[in-house]
Amino acid sequence: MRALCWTSGGELAVGQVPDPELRNDHDVIVRVRRSATCGADLPLLTGRASGLAAGDVLGHEFLGDVVEVGGGVRRHRVGDRVVVCASVACGACWYCRRGLPSCCDNGSTDPTANEAEWGHPVAGCFGQPRAAGGFAGSHAEYVRVPYADVGAFPVPESVADDRALFASDAAPAGWLGAEGGEVRPGDVVAVWGAGAVGQLAARAAWLLGAERVVVVDRHPARLLMARQHVGVETIDRRDTDVAAQLREFSGGRGPDVCVEAVGGPAGEHLSLADRFTGRAPVPEAVREAVYACRKGGNVFVLNGGTRHVNAFPTGAVVHKGLTVRGGRQHGQRHIPMLLDRMARDELRTEHLATHHFPLDRAVEGYALFRDRPEECLRAVFTPR
């Protein structure tokens, strides 16, 4: 089959790879209908020791049709149109049974691979370096989906592909930002990042009863989209003092909940000296959130791409009594609810699919997503 792969030369190319096969009883094979780029892919493409090997297939946000079903699968049949959670979890371990599937113990084919990096194994993810589970990505004609009864969900007929696609990752991530930040009715919520994840975090905040929501970014076109489609106020960080504007926005108290959903190399600030000395980046948006957040408020961090940082304001966390949490989306728990909201038109996401490409032009799609973020919010690939 054709797939978007990492090459030995350290670049992307569409080429031929063997078709995936059922490897476990709980697997299904999905023929991809749509597969989207994600901000989480961008750090992989900088070439800095990403861990990708030649032949690795990229992509983790997707939906498609079930074409093969393993012997242990109960909930799916050939022909079902399903959206698949970008992360891989077993549904049976202590964490999964407590509604924390992205903390799954059994989501990886080599749990020891994560231990060195995070201390513990975490849920797998499609289309990432092997250490993230060992599962080929979705920018391909076909994908193998492990634990299919747990991670794949039938899409209601009334929900179109371009909407349901975002239930795979961006919508559950956004939902987690708001839910994990414990947004309550009447809250003032600030979201950093107007990408798909940030916009859907803002939408989730509305749905959870927030009374004012503001989104911060540096791209006017993305902020315009957030105003038009999510009905939020926006702050363009290039021409204002973000902290001062947030104070104004929240009666001087500071937002009750701050969600960080920024991405890419743009999400971190590295001075020339830092680059020279190899110092860790400064988490610009998280710092701003910690200083802006009201006393006793919640800061929720969604960007896991920056592995470690310097200049984290621990003092402000202590003196203001903040709760700082992070997390990867728990789609296995949230996707059915999100699809339901999509079917009821409470959650509209198709505007995020700004660009469509046939899979054969996926390299071009990534270049656009990376280099022209003001224009391209998500590039969506269609294999046929």
Partner 1 sequence: MGRVGTVVAVAGALGVAAARATRTAVSRQRAWRAGPPHRWQVVTVDRPPEQVLPSAVWPEPLRRLDGAVEVTVARAPGGRGTELAARARPHAAWPGLSAHLLGDDPGLLVRRTLWQVKQLAETGEVLRADRAPGERGPVDRPPR
Ligand X SMILES: NC(=O)c1ccc[n+]([C@@H]2O[C@H](COP(=O)([O-])OP(=O)(O)OC[C@H]3O[C@@H](n4cnc5c(N)ncnc54)[C@H](O)[C@@H]3O)[C@@H](O)[C@H]2O)c1
Q: Rank residues 55 and 327 by Cβ distance to ligand X and give the closer one.
A: 327
Binding region for partner 1 (CB under 8 A) out of 2-10, 191-199, 231-239, 263-271: 2-10
Examine residue 358 and tell whether it contacts partner 1 (CB under 8 A). no
Q: Is 10 left (phi over 0), alpha (psi -120 to 50) or beta?
A: left
Interface residue with Zn ion among 80, 141, 162, 169 (CB under 5 A) is 169
Q: Among residue numbers 55 through 74, which ones bind Zn ion (CB under 5 A)?
A: 61
Q: Please give the structure tokens belonging to residue 207.
A: 């749905």
What gap in Å lies between CA 287 and CA 7, rounded to an integer?
37
Examine residue 335 and tell whether it contacts ligand X (CB under 6 A). no
Examine residue 232 and tell whether it contacts ligand X (CB under 6 A). no
Q: Which residue is nearest to ligand X (CB)?
A: 39
Chain Cα centroid distance, residue 363: 20
Examine residue 302 and tell whether it contacts ligand X (CB under 6 A). yes
What gap in Å lies between CA 43 and CA 132, rounded to an integer?
14
Examine residue 53 and tell whether it contacts partner 1 (CB under 8 A). yes
Q: Where are the alpha helices (DSSP H) in 62-141?
A: 112-118
CB 23 within 8 A of CB 369: no
Site map (CB under 8 A) of partner 1, residues 191-230, x = contact = ----------------------------------------
Q: Please give the structure tokens belonging to residue 69.
A: 């079903």
Examine residue 101 and tell whether it contacts ligand X (CB under 6 A). no
Interface residue with partner 1 among 46, 67, 78, 94 (CB under 8 A) is 94
What gap in Å lies between CA 52 and CA 315, rounded to an integer?
37
What gap in Å lies between CA 105 and CA 6, rounded to an integer?
28
What gap in Å lies between CA 304 and CA 108, rounded to an integer?
18
Q: Please give the structure tokens belonging to residue 165.
A: 């696609």
Binding region for Zn ion (CB under 5 A) out of 33-41, 213-221, 223-231, 254-262: 33-41
Examine residue 25 and tell whether it contacts partner 1 (CB under 8 A). yes
Interface residue with Zn ion among 30, 38, 57, 213 (CB under 5 A) is 38
Examine residue 121 and tell whether it contacts partner 1 (CB under 8 A). yes
Examine residue 266 and tell whether it contacts partner 1 (CB under 8 A). no
What gap in Å lies between CA 224 and CA 367, rounded to an integer?
22
Cβ 319 to partner 1, closest distance in Å? Answer: 34
Chain Cα centroid distance, residue 243: 26
What gap in Å lies between CA 361 and CA 66, rounded to an integer?
24
The residue behind tokens 């020891």 is 112
Interface residue with ligand X among 4, 216, 226, 353 (CB under 6 A) is 216
Binding region for partner 1 (CB under 8 A) out of 129-137, 163-171, 212-220, 232-240: 129-137
> What ranges make up the beta strands (E) of 336-383?
355-358, 379-382
Q: Is 345 left (phi over 0), alpha (psi -120 to 50) or beta?
A: left
Cβ 46 to partner 1, closest distance in Å? Answer: 20
Q: Is 212 left (phi over 0), alpha (psi -120 to 50) or beta?
A: beta
CB 300 within 8 A of CB 205: no
Site map (CB under 6 A) of ligand X, residues 149-188, x = contact = --------------------x---x---------------
Binding positions for Zn ion, rule: CB under 5 A: 38, 40, 61, 89-90, 93, 96, 104, 106, 169
> Could you list the residues that contact partner 1 (CB under 8 A)?
5, 7-8, 13-18, 20, 23-26, 53-56, 72, 90-94, 97, 105-106, 108-112, 121, 130, 134-136, 144, 146-147, 360
Q: Which residues bind ligand X (CB under 6 A)?
A: 38-40, 42, 169, 173, 192-198, 216-219, 222, 237, 261-264, 266-267, 284-285, 302-305, 328-329, 373
